[in-house]
Structure 1
Amino acid sequence: MRLIPFALLILCGAVQAAPEVVSLDQAGVLYEQHCQSCHGVNRLGGAGPALLPESLSRIKPDEARAVIHNGRPASQMAAFGDRLSSAQIDGLVSYLYQPAATPPTWSDDDIRASHRILADVAALQSTPQHGADPLNLFVVVEAGNHHVRILDGDRFEELANFQSHFALHGGPKFSPDGRFVYFASRDGWISVYDLHNLTMIAEVRAGLNTRNLAVSNDGRWVLVGNYLPGNLVLLDARDLSLVKHIPAVAADGTQSRVSAVYTAPPRDSFVVALKDVKEAWELSYAGEPDFQPRRIEAADFLDDFSFTPDYRYLLATSRKALGGQVIDLDTGKAVTDIPLPGMPHLGSGIYWKRGGDWVFATPNVSKGLISVLDLQSWKLIKEIPTEGPGFFMRSHLNSPYAWTDVFFGPNNDAVHLIDKQTLEVAHTLRPMPGKNAAHVEFTNDGRYALLSVWDTDGALIVYDAKTLEEVKRIPMNTPSGKYNVGNKIEFAEGTSH
C-alpha cells in the first residue's frame, strides 16, 4: 500500500476546502441570465433600476447582497437566495459595482424614447379634488419601499400612496402654484404628479445618474442636473418633453459632472454648481430665454451651495479651504473663504434673523457641531457642539428653534433643538431610542413639526412645535424626507431649496 505524504494530504484538503470564487466574467453571465430582463442591457435599467456604480453609490455592497438574496418587499425584485450560491451572489455584487466595460451614453433620442404621457392635464379638474388645504399638503418619500405618500397636513391623514422610481434623490420640487410636484430618481427618471387630482401626469428619463432638478419661478421649465452623462437637461414643465440638453463643459473644454441646480426666484434664473471645474453657472429664464450659461469663476470646486436671503450671494462648499466660499452673483466674483470645518452640508443650511441681523447655520457631516455665520461680515459667530455629525437642519419663521439631527455616529437617535437667539441647545429629543432620527419639516403655519425615523420599522412623528408633545405617530418604512407644499413654493425661512 502506497502511503500519501502527510503534507500532500493537507494540501489536498486545502484544495477541496477552498471556497468557490466567481469571476467577473462569470458574474456577467449570471447578470444576463437572471437580471438583464428587468435591469437592462449594459445595466442601464428597464422595469428595474439602473445597476451602475454611479446609481448604487449610496447603497453598501452588503445591502445589495441582501437584496439579491432576499428580494425586496412590495416590489418586483425577486429573491435569488434559493437559486444562486453565496459565491455567485458575491460575484454579482462585485460585478455591479464595477464600471461598465463600455462607458454608457444617454442621447436626446434616448430621452425622447423614454417619454411617457400618463394623463391629459386638460381633461383634469383645475381645482383640488381632495378637500384638504393645498398649501398644507406633505409629500413624503418612503425610501424603504420606494413609495410616495401624500398627507393632509391638518389632519395628518393619507390622501394617496403610490410607487416611485428607485431611490428618489434631491428632494421633490413644486410648480409655483403648488399644483404639480416633480421627482428625480437617482437613475435619471423625472416624474410630474398632479396634487389637485392625485394622479401621475408624465415621466421621462433625463439621464443615467441624476443629482437633482429645479423648477423655474414662472412654472415653464424644469432643469435637471446629471452626473452621468455630465450635462443639464431642460424639460417643458407641462409634460416633461425634451427642450434641449446643455453639456457641462467648462470654458477651457473640461467636461464636468453637475453637483446641484436650484432656482433663484428674484433673479429669474437657475444657478448651477459644477463638480469637476471651478465654475458656477447662471441661466436666465426671463422672457424668451436661450439658456446660455453665464459663467462665474469660482475660487474652488463646488459640491453644493445655499443662497443668502436676497439671493445675491452663494454660500458654496470649498475643498481647498476645507470649508466654504462666498460668490457674489451680481459681480460674478468670489468674495471670500468662510471658516466651516467638518464638511459642511450647505444644501441643508438655513438662515434666520437673530436680533436684527441675518445669520446662517449649517450642520457638518464629519464633525459634531453646527457652524453659525454672520451674513454681513461672513465671520463665524459660534460653533455649537452636538452629539454627532449632522445632515439636516430645519426651522420656521414662527418657531424659536432650529431642529438639527446627528445623523452620523452612535447617537443618531437624537435631535437637537437650538434656540435661535441664544445659539444654545435648548432641548434634545430621542423619538425612537436606538433608531436614526432625521429631517424635520414644519406645517405651513409652523404649528407642527414632522420628524422622520429612518428605519425599516420607522415612523413619521408629528410634534406640537411649541409644547414638543407628540401628536401622532405614523408607521413607515424609512421615511427619508417630507416636504410641505406651502413652505416650498414660498421658499420659506427655515426650509431648504
Structure 2
Amino acid sequence: MATGGLGLVVERASGSLVLVDRLAHSAVGRIEGLGDLSHASLTYSPDERFAYVFGRDGGLTKVDMVNRSIAGRVVQAGNSIGGAISDDGKLVAVSNYEPGGVRVFDADTLEMVQDIPAGSKTIGLADMPGRRFIWSLWDTGETWIADLSGSEMKLRKLADVGKNPFDGVMTDDGSTYLVGLFGEKGVTAIDLWSKDPKPVRFLKNYGKKEDDLPVYKMPHLQGWAFTDGQFVLPAVGAHELLWVDRITLEETGRTAVHGQPVFIISQPASPYVWTNFAMPLNDTVQVVDSRSHAVVRTLQPGPAVLHMEFAPRGAEVWISVRDANVVQIYDTLTFAKIGEIPAQSPSGIFFTARAHRNGL
C-alpha cells in the first residue's frame, strides 16, 4: 500500500484516528484505543510507514499506516503536549507538562533512551539537524538544545529567553527558532545557524497602547506562517495578524481579522496565508494576501474550526469542523468545497508529507 497520499485525522473525543486517502477524498479506516487525544499531535517516520501520536494523557502511540493498527504504545508521563522525531528517524522525543521535561525514545521499540527532567512545563519541542532537539520552558523562561548524536548527550541551556514562553516554532529553512511569550509582550528569535546562539527579543511593545482582550485559546506557533520574506504572527489577545520582516525583525504591518487567530498557515506555492480563530468566533476561516496584508476571502465552514492542512503542493486545504463532526475539503483556487468526510469531533489533520519537513 502506497503511503504518500495518506493522512490521519484526530478524533479528539473518542481517542481514535481516521485514516484518510487525500487523493480519493475518502476515509479508508479507523484506528482506536489511543487514550486522551484532546490536544493530540503526531509526526511520521521518514518512510511514512509509522505515525507517532502524542496524547494529552502522556501516551506515545506508534501507528502502522499500512496495517491500520497500533504497533506500540507507552504511557510515558502524566500530561504530554507534543513531540518530534529526529532527522534520521531513529529517536522520538516527547515534551511533558507533568512531570515536565523531555523524554526520548527509540523509534523502533519505544524504549526510553534519555530522560531530561526540567522541573517546568515544556513547550515548543522541535527537531534540529544532526539528532538534536530544541524546546522551551514555561516556568523558567529558558530554551534547551539536546544533542544526541554521540554516545553521551550534550545539553545546552539558553537563559533569559522571556517570561512564560507559550510555544516555539522552527522556521521553514531551519535557521531560526521563534518563541512566543505570554508573560510579557513580544517574541524571541534564536539564530540556530550561529555557533553561539543568543536570544533576541522583538515586537517588545506590540499592543502596549491597547487593552488586551481575554485570551480564549492560546495561538499555536506550529501554525505561524513564513511567506514573502516575512513572519506572520498572531497578536495574542487581539483580532490581528502581525507582519514582521524576517531579516530586520521589524514590524511591517498589521491585518485586522475576524477574531483571535489560532493557526496561521502558508498555502504552498502562493502568496496567501489562511487563519482560523478562537471561540466564540471559531466558525470562520480567512485568507490573507502576504503582499497587501489584506483579507481576500472569508469562509464559514461551520462550528468550531480547529485545524487546517494543505495538500503538499497547495491545491487543496482540509479543514476540521469539530462540532459538525466533519472534515471539509476546499479547492484553494476557486475556494469551492469539493469534498467532505465524516469524523467524530475532528481536530488535527496530518498528511504523511510531513515526514519530509523539518521542525515538526
TM-score normalised over the length of structure 2:
0.90
Q: How does 1:269-418 map to 2 (within 5 A)?
A: 269-286=132-149, 288-301=150-163, 302-329=165-192, 330=194, 331-339=196-204, 341=207, 345-352=220-227, 354=228, 358-409=229-280, 411-418=281-288
Distance 1:344 1:374 in 2: 20
Q: Distance in 2 between matches of 1:391 and 1:414?
A: 11
Deviations, residues 146-201 of structure 1 (Å, cap 9, x unaligned)? 22001001001112102221125351111122211001111111000111222211
The structure with the greater share of residues assigned to strand is 2
Figure out how many residues of one structure are paired with residues of the other and give that number. Answer: 346
From the superposition, tell whether residues 375 and 348 of structure 1 become closer, same or farther in structure 2 (CA, over 3 Å).
same
Distance in 2 of aligned mates of 1:490 and 1:382 = 32
Find the counterpart in structure 2 of residue 491 from structure 1.
357
Q: Which is helix-richer, 1 or 2?
A: 1
- Matched residues, percent identical? 27
**CA distance change for structure 1 residues 303 and 165 in 2, over 3 Å: closer, same or farther?**
same
Query: 1:350 & 1:269 partners in 2: Cα distance?
Result: 23
Q: Which residue of 2 aligns with 1:21?
A: none
* Secondary structure at 1:186 match in 2: coil
Which residue identity lines up with residue 363 of structure 1 in the other structure? P
Question: Is the contact made by 1:142 and 1:149 (CA closer than 8 Å) also made in structure 2?
Answer: yes
Distance in 1 between residues matched to 2:176 and 2:151, nearest whole Å: 23
| Residues 394/405 of structure 1: CA separation in 2 closer, same or farther (3 Å cut) | same
Aligned to 1:476: 343
1:429 positional shift: 0.5
In the aligned structure 2, how far is the partner of 1:365 from the partner of 1:170? 22
Alignment partner of 2:12 out of 139, 143, 147: 143
In 2, Cα distance between equivalents of 1:405 and 1:314: 23
> Structure 1 residues 348, 467: closer, same or farther in 2, change over 3 A?
same
User: Structure 2: which amino acid aligns with 1:444?
Assistant: P
Pair 1:344–1:165, CA change in 2 (3 A) = closer
Aligned counterpart for 2:126 among listed residues 258, 262, 280: 262
Q: Please report how far the alpha carbon of residue 145 of structure 1 lies from its aligned counterpart in structure 2 after TM superposition.
A: 2.3
- Residues 125-144 of structure 1: matches in 2 within 5 Å? 128=1, 133-144=2-13
The two structures, once aligned, show a CA RMSD in angstroms of: 2.0
1:228 aligns with 2:98: yes
Counterparts of 1:40-189 in structure 2, within 5 Å, are: 128=1, 133-163=2-32, 164-189=34-59
Q: 2-side partners of 1:378 and 1:467: how far apart?
A: 34
Tell me the amino acid that sits aligned with residue 310 of structure 1: D
For residue 152 of structure 2, what is the amino acid of its counterpart?
A: D
Aligned letter for 2:340?
R
- 1:300 is matched by which residue type in structure 2? G
Supply the AA of the counterpart residue of 2:356.
E
CA distance in 1, matches of 2:349, 2:250: 32
Is the 1:184–1:210 contact (alpha carbons within 8 Å) kept by the matching residues of 2? yes
Q: Deviations over 1:285-339 (max 9, x none)?
A: 33x3422311122331322112233323221122454121122332221223324
For 1:289 and 1:218, locate their aligned partners in 2 and report how far apart those are by CA, in whole Å: 16
What residue in structure 2 maps to residue 442 of structure 1? 310
**2:122 alignment partner AA:** V
Q: Secondary structure at the match of 2:4?
A: helix
Contact conserved, 2:244 with 2:250, CA < 8 A, in 1? yes
Query: Which has the higher relative contact order, 1 or 2, with Cα contacts under 8 A spaced 6 or more apart?
Result: 2
Question: What is the distance in 2 between the residues matched to 1:214 and 1:194?
Answer: 17
Equivalent-residue separation in structure 1 for 2:273 and 2:313 (angstroms):
16
The 8 Å contact of residues 390 and 408 in structure 1, kept in 2 or not, is answered as no
Contact 1:415–1:429 (8 Å) recurs in 2: yes
Q: Tell me which amino acid in the other structure corresponds to 1:297.
A: A
Whole-angstrom CA distance in 1 between matches of 2:88 and 2:273:
31
State the distance in 1 between where 2:268 and 2:12 align: 28
Distance of 1:153 and 1:237 partners within structure 2:
26
Aligned counterparts of 1:318 and 1:307: Cα–Cα separation in 2? 15
Read off the aligned partner of 1:415 and give its amino acid letter: V
- Tell me, which stretches of 5 or more residues in structure 1 are unaligned? 1-127, 249-254
Measure the CA separation in 1 of the matches of 2:161 and 2:316. 41
